[in-house]
Amino acid sequence: MSSLRRVSKTLKSPKCLSLLQTYSKFTPFPSMFRLNDHPLELARACCSNSRQNSKENNVDLSQYPAERIRNFSIIAHVDHGKSTLADRLLELTGTIKRGHGQPQYLDKLQVERERGITVKAQTATMFHKHNFHGPNVAEAQDPPTFLLNLIDTPGHVDFSYEVSRSLAACQGALLVVDAAQGVQAQTVANFYLAFESNLTIIPVINKIDQPTADPDGVKAQLKSMFDLEPSDCLLTSAKTGQGLEKVLPAVIERIPPPPGHSDSPLRMLLLDSYYDEYKGVICHVAVVDGILRKGDKISSAATGNAYEILDVGIMHPELTPTGVLLTGQVGYVVSGMRSTKEARVGDTLYHSRSVVEPLPGFKPAKHMVFSGLYPADGSDFEALNHAIERLTCNDASVSVTKESSSALGLGFRCGFLGLLHMDVFHQRLEQEYGAHVISTIPTVPYIFEHSDGSKVQVQNPAAMPSNPKKRVTASWEPTVIATIIIPSDQRAFMKYRLPLKEIVVDFYNELKSITSGYASFDYEDSDYQEADLVKLDILLNGQPVDAMATIVHNLKAQRVGRELVEKLKKFIDRQMFEITIQAAIGSKVIARETISAMRKNVLAKCYGGDVTRKRKLLEKQKEGKKRMKRIGSVDIPQEAFHQLLKVQ
Ligand SMILES: Nc1nc2c(ncn2[C@@H]2O[C@H](COP(=O)(O)OP(=O)(O)OP(=O)(O)O)[C@@H](O)[C@H]2O)c(=O)[nH]1
């Protein structure tokens, strides 16, 4: 028997197999290992694997057991300085260079940079030396290094789902409050999110450099509203750097290390994902128990699918391969997931060979606003489908179902967490995927009861019968509990129950403008209440346009109908025939406008024989036509659809 066959036979003996199985629980073999492999090959593969696992790209994660890890979020009301503070902490730890020329480093999306808001939570890993026990112990000479995972979260109410998901990976949070503005509506909402998740909360009073800063006043607010001790508050200016040196020591000393058991079977929580053209789906994960190594075989508790870990690492601050993630660490994995449907946020990933109890996951996102999304050019349906699939990988809070409209063709009905969320999703589709999209009037999920006692939830006005009075016996609309804080001389804290539809369109902007930007607003969903609802149809030359239908309160129908037809008249160009625009409830027309006919000859001014000029004008006209949607015989510019979103 050759030596190779002898080794192979020995390896296959029952005793050796059971030893291997026990051993492999702790030291996974490279994925290409098979029992018939040559022992030298096997040894080489194991060595290179462990080298790669322990130290890849100069980051040796084996030095960071759970007690040297801190996972924390930065939460705050919008604009109180989260992203700027995150920048300073990344600079302080040398994770990014000072003056890297890109403020709000973690706001990576174009839409975030343009609007100056955070819409996606972002994670970055930092390393920081800290002398835990004071200067008298031996550690003072060479203080230990801690691995800190920072998650910057959005402040706007529409993205609080991102915040609650981020908190699931953390044991603590920096609650940032503007020293001049004090506690605002999202400060309250975010405090309770963190408090209910049992996180250690470190209050940070930021922007103390402002002339109107009142840190003592804010300390008193934090004490009276949240029972946070004034002596626990850190005072900082993320702009001047004042007080920042106290932030990371507070994180390390006050926030507990992640719990979890390194010797238990692997359980990873899938926090987020996005699609990369070269690597496929990249998942952000938190290792709750056990150890993950490159080459491991993992399974998804949600889908049952199995994958091999092709790459694993941390965000330091960009993807940095480490070959391994230990208990309590937050990082990324690439596992060959092809479709975004496979990466379910909140899923538990575990070693395929083990049996584990799935982690609790996240509460499903509650969709407040629904709107139809259609390709501006009907033939682009597949391209839009592809773009939506890719984008929902990075924004799992959007619900998508296919629908069709007689006016706009094949499209999608999407559920969003709010109007800003809808707007941002729309903008990301255009900017990141080049998709040209028409959105229909946003609607909230209404409930209708029919005479036979059956109830239906209607997310698309087109799905509601034209004459509700005949077939519908009762209707209900969703409401919210709104919190409004006005930090004027006499600080007012108001709580109202409002119909959701009322706050969906422009309520926030109006509130800001009538209070000169001082009021802040947040809401949580509440019960349904009975309401007298009707479907308002829009007709162009007598033909109802399903994509423009909307559901409104009977009392408001007249005003909304008038506004809609006036808006349409303003944005539809005169065409070669007369166009009538009507708003109707059932067969009753409640508003009407007419656009008179004209003959538009773009060449009319081109007397003389300049062929190139004529051609240019015709090309321009053709381009203009592309941005039109033909409904029946009427060309409607995309802008008209956009304007309708703002009515009500
Ligand atoms: N004066 C002063 N301005 C600050 C300070 N920190 C942040 N700012 C400014 O406040 C504005 C908002 O800062 P961001 O860091 O974007 O706030 P944010 O909380 O991340 O905002 P969202 O992500 O939209 O919720 C920016 O113009 C910052 O330059 C500070 O300490 N002092």
- Could you tell me which of 394, 414, 411 has the C-alpha nearest to residue 403? 411
H/E stretch holding 45 reads helix 39-54
Q: Which residue is closest in CA terms to ligand 1's atom 23? A: 118
**What's residue 454's pLDDT?**
82
328: its two tokens: 């309590």
- pLDDT at position 360, please? 84
Q: What is the pLDDT of residues 39-73, one digit of tens each?
A: 333 333 333 333 333 344 567 888 898 899 999 99
Q: Which pLDDT value is given to residue 185?
A: 84
The per-residue pLDDT for 26 is 29
Cβ 118 under 6 angstroms from ligand 1: yes
Ligand 1, pocket-test mutation among 75, 77, 83, most atoms within 8 A of CB: 83
Q: Which are the contacts of 303, defined by CB distance < 8 A and separation ≥ 6? A: 342, 344, 347
Token output for 459: 């997310």
- The answer for residues whose C-beta is within 8 angstroms of residue 157's C-beta and 6 or more apart is 185, 186, 189, 418, 508, 521, 522, 523
d(CA 231, CA 350): 43
Write the residue with the smallest CA distance to atom 30 of ligand 1: 207
Angstrom distances, CA of residue 559 to CA of 444, 505, 645: 19, 15, 15
Atom of ligand 1 nearest to the CA of 237: 31
Gyration radius from the chain CA atoms: 29
**What is the whole-number distance in angstroms between the Cα of residue 249 and the centre of ligand 1?**
22
Q: Is 77 in the pocket of ligand 1 (CB under 6 A)?
A: no
Q: How far, in Å, from the CA of 204 to the mean position of ligand 1? A: 13
Rounded to the nearest angstrom, the distance between the alpha carbon of 80 and the centre of ligand 1 is 5
For residue 105, give the nearest of 91, 119, 125, 126 by alpha carbon: 91
Residue 52, ligand 1, Cβ within 6 A: no
Are 186 and 519 spatial neighbours (Cβ–Cβ below 8 Å)?
Answer: no
Q: Is the distance from the beta carbon of residue 78 to the nearest atom of ligand 1 less than 6 Å?
A: yes
Residue whose tokens read 């062929």: 611
CB 405 within 8 A of CB 545: no
Residue 437 CA to residue 379 CA, distance in Å, equals: 12
- Which tokens belong to 269? 């929580």
> Distance between CA atoms of 321 and 316, rounded to whole angstroms?
9
Rounded Cα–Cα distance for residues 412 and 400 (Å): 6
Q: Mark the ranges of the chain whose per-residue pLDDT is less than 50.
A: 1-56
- Which residue has 């800190």 as its token pair? 148
What contacts 539, CB < 8 A, 6 or more positions away?
545, 580, 581, 582, 583, 584, 589
Q: How far apart are CA 295 and CA 350, in angstroms?
A: 13
The model's pTM: 0.74
* Ligand 1 contact via 82 beta carbon (within 6 Å): yes
**C-beta of 81 in contact with ligand 1 (< 6 A):** yes
The CB of 209 under 6 Å from ligand 1? The reply is yes
Q: Which residue has the tokens 């409830």?
A: 585
